[in-house]
Amino acid sequence: MNRMRMALLLAVLICTAAALKWSTRSAVAASAPQTQQAAPTTASVVDREISAVEKLVVEAAEAMPEDKFNFSPESLNIPGADYKGVRTFAVQVKHIATSNYFIWSPITGDKLPEGLKDGNGPENLKTKADIIKFLKESFALGHKAAAMLTAENMLQTVGNGKSTRLRLATFGFAHAYDHYGQMVEYLRMNGIVPPASRGKSD
């Protein structure tokens, strides 16, 4: 009989302990903040695309050594190739940044930086550090433009142009992807694996 009572008491203690443990876990789970992802918006989707190409372009620019920043395929004198007059690597980077300003400033209303006369960027920007700073600042404008897109205004044209805000916002990152491809070729021509390709194909 004593053994039976002891077994019963032990069973009750085990069940009580299990119940307390479950109760504690439930209380912790109930008190934990519920992390819900916000529904995507036009602004958030465009901003994510800008971030993606920004990472590729900036990392590619940083990968090119300063003494190669003025490299152009023309200098390789490849038989049968016609690279005469193509942009240098530095001008490719400045062109992306300059285009970012021309494309996205109509959305934000920001004034263009000094020295933007054409698509090749300010002539006074010579060093790698200055060019990359200019590049990063241009993408900051892109993020600002993306944040200003709403369901109500994205199909409105800007100023006297025919392009909608959405078209300008998306053309900005599409254009950057185009020139990123050229930057990749310039890196490869100098024996440099683009950062985005490292650990994958190479």
- For the chain, list the domains and their CATH numbers: 42-191 (1.20.120.450)
What stretches in the chain show pLDDT beneath 70? 1-35, 200-202
List C-alpha distances in Å: 79 to 70, 74, 75, 86, 182: 21, 11, 12, 16, 20
The C-alpha atoms of residue 33 and residue 69 are separated, in whole angstroms, by 49
Q: What is the pLDDT of residues 91-120, one digit of tens each?
A: 999 999 999 999 999 999 999 998 898 999
Residue in 39, 40, 53, 154 with CA at minimum distance from that of residue 99: 53
pTM of the model: 0.79
pLDDT value of position 176: 97
Judged by phi (left if over 0) then psi (alpha if -120 to 50, else beta), residue 191 lies in left
pLDDT value of position 160: 84
Query: Is the Cβ–Cβ distance between 40 and 149 less than 8 Å?
Result: no
pLDDT value of position 31: 52
